[in-house]
Structure 1
Amino acid sequence: MSQAHTKRDRLALITETIAAHRKHDRDRVVFETDTARLEYADRTIAIDVSDGARERLDAVLASFPVFKIEQPATRTAPTGTVHIAAIADPKHTADFIERIFRDVYQHGPGYELRV
């Protein structure tokens, strides 16, 4: 398991992990903290959200127009798992994932990310 504590290190870890995932065609990758997790697989990000987190996710999605919710049913679901199409390069995807942990899950700047 790899981990990172600074934004720079987290972005590098996410970017490298996604690039390796794509190169080796792995099943899925789990990015997690003590209180939150998301899965990346086949250019899709799956995250679990509550009502408040869903509203924060919508705000992050507005800042990253290349990332779109994949399933129409999840657009109106107040809670549950949301699947987001991540058809972007690993660096851009890393920026998006960092924002999910910071803005959606409301982690502070020094949070520990594990892969």
Structure 2
Amino acid sequence: MTDDSPGDRKRSFVRRILEARRTEEPVIFEARDAAIEYDDRSLRLELTAGERDRLEALLEAYHVFKIEQPATRKADDGVVYLSAVTDAKHAADFLEALFREVYGFEEHYELQT
């Protein structure tokens, strides 16, 4: 199933985040060649240098999300871990912004669910 409108995607993000919290199993959000893993209020991203710069700018607007320094330093090049200790709706807004602003997807990108 695919979601291709911002509202549909945000509803899917919220639903899947709540499900992941309930089952204590990670969930992966995929669109084209980008994937974001949500696990226990943490996000795992794979980013290019340019995407990393855009992430830094995005984090200025979403203060509750922080780079997990120990995990990121120990990770492979290009892998960034973020703490995501927030409600599911705010996390969904951030995930949408990641796909749009960091990965550069247009408004009607398809989220694979």
What TM-score, normalized by structure 2, do the two folds share? 0.92
Q: Distance in 2 between matches of 1:74 and 1:16?
A: 27
Match of residue 3 from structure 2: 4
Structure 2 counterpart SS, 1:61: helix
Q: Distance in 1 between matches of 2:72 and 2:22?
A: 29
Match of residue 87 from structure 1: 85
Structure 2 counterpart SS, 1:109: coil
Unpaired stretches in structure 2, ≥5 consecutive residues: none
- TM superposition outliers: structure 1 runs of 4+ over 6 Å: none
RMSD between aligned residues: 1.6
In the alignment of these two chains, the number of paired residues is: 111
Unpaired stretches in structure 1, ≥5 consecutive residues: none
The alpha-carbon distance between structure 1 residues 30 and 73, as it changes in their structure 2 partners (threshold 3 A), is closer
Task: State the identity %.
Answer: 41
Match of residue 60 from structure 1: 58
Mean CA deviation greater in 66-75 or 51-60: 66-75
Displacement of 1:34 in angstroms is 1.2
Mean CA deviation greater in 54-63 or 65-74: 65-74
